[in-house]
């Protein structure tokens, strides 16, 4: 039995999050190319969508789409995933883990604080 080794790439921890492949999501009747969704491509070329983005029905969570667009997910999906899945000092946890228990406006305000002033 081999030991679990630490990731060799800094982004491995983002790929380790619960996710669905684009093909699986599409097979469930949803559109994986929906604007505002995080899509991460793994080393095998498989596009993965982190599950925290979706309601139990499979529909995208509106607050997630809004924040993803604010964080320019289309320009930086890895950075957006890092914001959601990484620990946030202001929130005392990862934003993804707080969905449904922290008011959406608090999450949105925290995301806005990440945007440099123009």
Model pLDDT for residues 65-82, shown as the tens digit of each residue: 999 999 999 999 999 999
Q: What is the pLDDT of residues 84-118, one digit of tens each?
A: 999 999 999 999 999 999 999 999 999 999 888 75
The predicted model gives 20-36 an average pLDDT of 96
> How many separate domains does the chain show?
1
CA gyration radius for the chain?
A: 15
Could you tell me if 47 and 91 are in contact, meaning their C-beta atoms sit under 8 angstroms apart?
no
Whether 82 is in a domain gets the answer yes
Range of the domain at 102: 12-112
What does the alpha-carbon distance between residue 49 and residue 17 come to, in Å, rounded to a whole number?
Answer: 9
Q: What is the mean pLDDT of the chain?
A: 91
Q: In which residue are the tokens 């995208």 written?
A: 60
Confidence band, pLDDT 50/70/90 cuts, at residue 24: very high
Strand arrangement of the beta sheet that strand 19-21 belongs to: 19-21, 47-50, 40-41
What does the alpha-carbon distance between residue 79 and residue 82 come to, in Å, rounded to a whole number?
Answer: 5
Confidence band, pLDDT 50/70/90 cuts, at residue 9: low
């Amino acid at each position: 039995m081999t030991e679990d080794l630490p990731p060799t790439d800094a982004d491995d921890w983002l790929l380790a999050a619960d996710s669905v492949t684009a093909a699986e999501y599409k097979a469930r009747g949803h559109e994986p190319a929906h604007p505002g969704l995080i899509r991460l491509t793994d080393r095998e070329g498989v596009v993965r969508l982190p599950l925290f983005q979706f309601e139990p029905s499979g529909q995208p969570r509106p607050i997630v789409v809004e924040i993803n667009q604010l964080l320019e997910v289309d320009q930086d999906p890895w950075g957006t995933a890092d914001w959601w899945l990484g620990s946030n000092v202001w929130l005392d946890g990862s934003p993804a883990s707080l969905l449904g228990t922290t008011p959406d406006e608090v999450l949105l305000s925290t995301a806005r604080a990440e945007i440099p002033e123009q």
